[in-house]
Structure 1
Amino acid sequence: MSCLGVHFAITAEEASAIEHLDDEQDRLFHLQEVIEEQYFENQREYIAESDHAWDAMHRSLADGTLDLNGGVYPLNHTVLAGKLLYTGDDYIMSLKSPKDVESIAQALTEISESEFRDRYNRIDTPTYQGELSEEDFQYTWDSLQGVRELYSRAASEGRYVLFTADQ
C-alpha cells in the first residue's frame, strides 16, 4: 500500500485541461504522464510531497476522520475535500479553486503547532492506520509546513491546488 500524497499548484490552463477530460481514466493518465512528469522534472517549487502524512494531516484539519465532509471549511479542504476528479479505489484527485486556495492559505497561517497538536490528538484512533505518537505528529507537522508554503505560493499566484494520492 503506497498512499503517497502530493499537492500540486497548477495553472488555470492545466486545471481546465484535466477537468475537461470526461473519462476518469483519462484524467489519471493526464496526471501521471503530463502533470507529474512536468512538475517533478521542471517545477518542483510547485509541489508539496506529504508522503503518508496526508492522512493524519486531513484528519487533524477536519474532524478526526477521513470523511470528505467532516470538519469546517476551509481547513477541511486542505487535503481531501474539493472537486473530486477521480473516484476510483486506486487514486485520489481533489482540485481546489484559486478562491478556495486563498481561503485555505489564510486559514493555514493561523494554525500554530500547539493548535495542530490538539487537533492531531483528536484523531479517531480506531480508524487511523498509523500509530499516534510524537514521531508521527512531528512527521505530519513537518509535512504541513511544505503544504502551507505551497498554498501560500499558489494563492499569491492565483493557482489551483490539486491533491493526489495513490492508494
Structure 2
Amino acid sequence: MSCLGVHFAFSADDVAALQGISDEQERLAFLQEELEERYFAGAAEYIAQSDKSWDAMHRTLSNGQLTWDGGTFPLNHTVLAGTPLYSGDDYIMSLKTPEQVKAVASAIEHLTISDFREAYERIDAASYDGEIGDEDFTYTWEWFQDVRALYLRAAAEGRFVLFAVDY
C-alpha cells in the first residue's frame, strides 16, 4: 500500500452520489474511478495531497496518537475524524460536513509554525512509524500548507471535505 493521503473538497452533489452507494466496495470504486479521476483531471483546485505526512499531521492536530476519536474538535477533524464512509482495513474515507469544514478552517487558519511544532513534539514516538525530528516536522508542515489552503477554500464555498488514503 502506498499510504498517500488526499483531501478532496467535494460538492454537495458529489457527496450525495457517494453516500447514495450503500455497498462500500462500490462506494470505494466510485471514489477511485469516478470522483478521483474527475477531480485530478479537471478540478485540481479542490485537491490537497498530503503524501505520507497525513499520519504526523493527524497526530499533531489531535492527541499525538493515530486514532479516529483522539484529540478535540475541530482540530482532530482535519484528517481522520469525521464520518467514516468505508470500514475496510485497506482504505480510509472520512467525510467532513460544510459546518465541520468551516470550524476546521477557522481553527487552522492562523496556526503558526511554532504552534504546530509544539503540538508535533507531543506525537507518541513509540507508536509512530516515522522518525520524529526536524526533517519529518518540515515535511509535515509543508504538506499541511496545502491542506490548510484547501480547507479555507472549501469553507468559503460551502463544500464538504473527504480525506482518503489507501492503507
Q: TM-score range by the shorter chain?
A: over 0.9
Gap runs ≥5 in structure 2: none
1:8 aligned partner:
8
Is 1:118 equivalent to 2:118 in the alignment? yes
Aligned position for 1:148? 148
Equivalent residue, structure 1, for 2:103: 103
The corresponding residue for 1:139 is: 139
TM-score computed with the length of structure 2 as normaliser: 0.99
Give the 5 Å matches for 1:64-83: 64-83=64-83
Residue 109 (structure 1) shift: 1.0
Q: Deviations over 1:61-108 (max 9, x none)?
A: 000001111101000000000000001111000000000000000000
The residue aligned with 2:129 is: 129
What secondary structure is seen at the aligned counterpart in 1 of 2:38? helix
Aligned residue identity for 2:150: L
* d(CA) in 2 for partners of 1:110, 1:20: 36
Deviation at 1:110, TM superposition (A): 2.8
Percent identity between matched residues is 57
Q: Gaps spanning 5+ residues in structure 1: where?
A: none
- One-letter amino acid matched to 1:51: D
Number of residues paired by the alignment?
167
Partner SS for 2:69: coil
TM-score by length of 1: 0.99
Q: Tell me the amino acid that sits aligned with residue 166 of structure 2.
A: D
Distance 1:119 1:8 in 2: 25
Cross-structure match for 1:59: 59
